[in-house]
């Protein structure tokens, strides 16, 4: 990726996607996902991270919360309120679904229950139950409502990002085009935790000498390393 400078869309490579099933319903499965601040790093401790100027939001679809999570939870909420028997069928599919739905029922989140859903653990089963539901039209209304509710267009997206980047909230930024880092005017450089491998540093100096590297403490121009 560093050599050719391109972030490719999922359909053009074979890397595993995090939540491919719900993304199909949302229409954002063949996309690139970006985070606000370093939320992915803090969650997954990825060593290599990319930094973009906030003006890049002009080219991205911006949801002010995770629509994958919101849509999944709202559908499960609908079943809880309107078709508990169907929800229990989902829960009893296997041990993981049972544990996940039990947590949804009982886990306290900020003084409330049925707010917490680890949908990624049961995403395939959830996808199948949505696909096979008799009143699927109602579920698609819920999905459509989630997308509409959380979509912010630029410049409102930038205002929201500047307001909430330190909050316990994870906006979802989606790009529907391949990202060529060598040509993207909003690409600033890299956040790399720890020591940079020699072969990686050689590529950075060769291809990205005008960019920066942030190591968690200080920012350095690659040309000066």
At residue 140 the predicted structure's pLDDT band, cuts being 50, 70 and 90, is very high
End-to-end CA distance of the chain: 21
Instruction: Report the pLDDT value the prediction gives residue 47, as an integer from 0 to 100.
Output: 85
At residue 71 the predicted structure's pLDDT band, cuts being 50, 70 and 90, is very high
Instruction: Report the pLDDT value the prediction gives residue 38, as an integer from 0 to 100.
Output: 74
- Calculate what percentage of the chain has a pLDDT beyond 70: 99
At residue 68 the predicted structure's pLDDT band, cuts being 50, 70 and 90, is very high
Distance of alpha carbon 159 from alpha carbon 190, whole angstroms? 24
Cis (ω within 30 of 0) for the bond into 53? no
This prediction has a pTM of 0.88
Distance of alpha carbon 114 from alpha carbon 74, whole angstroms? 10
What 3-state DSSP class applies to 221? strand
Angle value at C-alpha 126, between 95 and 113, nearest 5 degrees? 75
What 3-state DSSP class applies to 100? helix
Mean pLDDT over residues 126-139, rounded?
Answer: 97
Instruction: Report the pLDDT value the prediction gives residue 165, as an integer from 0 to 100.
Output: 83
**Which residues lie across from 187 on neighbouring strands?**
52
At residue 194 the predicted structure's pLDDT band, cuts being 50, 70 and 90, is confident
Distance of alpha carbon 128 from alpha carbon 133, whole angstroms? 9
Contact 49, 40 (CB under 8 A): yes
What 3-state DSSP class applies to 189? strand
Which of 70, 71, 75, 94 has its CA nearest to residue 133? Answer: 75
At residue 182 the predicted structure's pLDDT band, cuts being 50, 70 and 90, is very high
At residue 41 the predicted structure's pLDDT band, cuts being 50, 70 and 90, is confident
Distance of alpha carbon 16 from alpha carbon 135, whole angstroms? 31
pLDDT digits (tens, 9 = 90+) for 152-179: 999 999 999 999 887 777 899 999 999 9
């Amino acid at each position: 990726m560093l050599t050719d400078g391109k972030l490719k869309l999922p359909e053009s490579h074979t890397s595993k996607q995090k939540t491919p099933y719900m993304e199909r319903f949302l229409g954002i499965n063949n996309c690139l996902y970006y985070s606000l601040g370093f939320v992915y790093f803090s969650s997954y401790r990825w060593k290599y991270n990319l930094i973009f100027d906030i003006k890049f939001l002009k080219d991205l679809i911006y949801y002010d919360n995770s629509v994958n999570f919101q849509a999944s939870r709202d559908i499960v909420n609908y079943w809880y309120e309107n078709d508990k028997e169907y929800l229990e069928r989902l829960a009893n599919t296997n041990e993981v679904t049972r544990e996940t739905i039990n947590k949804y029922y009982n886990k306290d989140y900020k003084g409330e229950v049925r707010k917490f859903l680890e949908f990624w653990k049961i995403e395939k089963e959830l996808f199948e139950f949505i696909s096979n539901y008799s009143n699927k039209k109602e579920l698609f209304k819920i999905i459509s409502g989630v997308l509409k509710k959380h979509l912010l267009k630029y410049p409102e997206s930038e205002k929201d990002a500047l307001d909430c980047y330190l909050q316990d909230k994870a906006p979802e930024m989606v790009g529907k085009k391949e990202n060529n880092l060598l040509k993207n005017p909003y690409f600033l450089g890299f956040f790399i935790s720890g020591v940079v491998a020699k072969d990686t540093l050689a590529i950075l100096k060769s291809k990205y000498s005008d960019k920066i590297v942030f190591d968690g403490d200080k920012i350095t121009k690659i040309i000066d390393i």
